[in-house]
A and B are shown apart, each in its own frame.
Chain A
Amino acid sequence: MILLRLFYSFFKIGAFSFGGGYAVLAFIQKEIVNLNHWLLPSEFVDVVAISQITPGPIAINAATFVGYKVAGYPGSAVATLGVTLPSFLIIIVIARFFIRFQENHYVKAAFDFIRPATIGLIAAAAVTTAQASIVDIKSALIGIFIFILLYYMKLDTILAIALSAILGLLLYR
């Protein structure tokens, strides 16, 4: 039963997360944290961090991690299958029947609005992860410091996480 729910949740996440990368965070948060309570908000942020320092798409990494945490090896297999299957089915249908699908007028019109909405979803993920992560002055300062390094010095993602881990060790006793 839990395996079926894992599969269904990650299938929905795979089927509706447009835009790749961080865009999937709002979906994972809704399904995994808010609706099913499989992860605490702070654990969700940890999974995002782990996904950032390991190879592969966030959606797959999160599915494997959450599936394992909730139901061990079968859970990780079922969740990963669930998140991959929609891509698989949708792309095969597109490859087979609508090679010219992106040139369709209505498809274009829909995506003109889906693209900016996706930016909003990522912004929402920023707000909700901040609620779980910015818990005091020190964490706020770490966040601002890392953002400045990213924005002005184009700091590498892995270095950003490594640096923030060191800051955490130094500032939290």
Chain B
Amino acid sequence: MKFLFELMMSFFKIGAFTLGGGYAMVPLIQEEVVEKKGWIDESEFLNIIAIAQSAPGPIAINTAVFTGYRLKGISGAVFATLGAVLPSFLIILIVATFFLSVKDSAVVKRAFMGIRPAVVALIVYSVVRLVKSNDVKGYAFIIPLLACLGIVLFNLHPILIIVLAAISGIIKTIVRGEDMGE
């Protein structure tokens, strides 16, 4: 029980201090779980991150579930996940209570007139970085382009797009007859 509590506190700290979410959390988790506590070694941590990225859901939550499960089974997973979720949950409840009561004030409205276009800029910047880091060039643009048009023009559900992408990826390897020996 003492260990479960320690596990929860570790992920609570990680959840409480990582701004921006996603990859921003990875170095913090590494410091806490690998370096400070020595719960998991470096190479296993990389495996956990790889799986946390490829499975659906937030990377921080996935990493918490995986680490907790490896250390203490289902109860470890429950406590680590609670620790990771709780800070967001509590902070957003406070902000939501406050924001919903002030959002019609003139000052808040004017500030958010400026903030909204900045959010667009942040998202566009993220797309630009992803295109660069994934080295999307030439015909590789077709997939993101189709996915984007599917949403914007044809109003498809994003779930449908993910499923179609997965199926086409699998069909492509089968058609090419690539080596399945491994």
Contacts and interface: CB of A to CB of B under 8 A. Distances in A.
Contacts of A4: none
A164 B118 contact: yes
Interface string A132-153: 1110001110111011001100
Contacts of A123: 127, 144, 147-148
Contact of B92 (A65, A115, A119, A150): A65
B82 to A, nearest CB: 9
B119 A49 contact: yes
Given A76-B93, A129-B123, A102 B54 contact: yes
Interface in B49-72: 50-62, 65-66, 69-70
Contacts of A3: none
B125 to A, nearest CB: 4
Interface in A155-173: 157-158, 160-161, 163-169, 171-173
Interface string A64-97: 1100110001001000100110111011101110
Contacts of B87: 55-56
B165 A113 contact: yes
Interface string A84-125: 101110111011100101110111011111111111111111
A113 B143 contact: yes
Contacts of B173: 105-106, 109
B1 interface: no
Interface of A: 12, 14-22, 24-27, 30, 34, 42, 45-46, 48-61, 64-65, 68-69, 73, 76, 80, 83-84, 86-88, 90-92, 94-96, 99, 101-103, 105-107, 109-130, 132-134, 138-140, 142-144, 146-147, 150-151, 157-158, 160-161, 163-169, 171-173
Given A16-B159, A84-B61, A124-B152, 7 more contacts: A20-B23, A20-B59, A30-B157, A64-B92, A87-B62, A102-B50, A105-B182
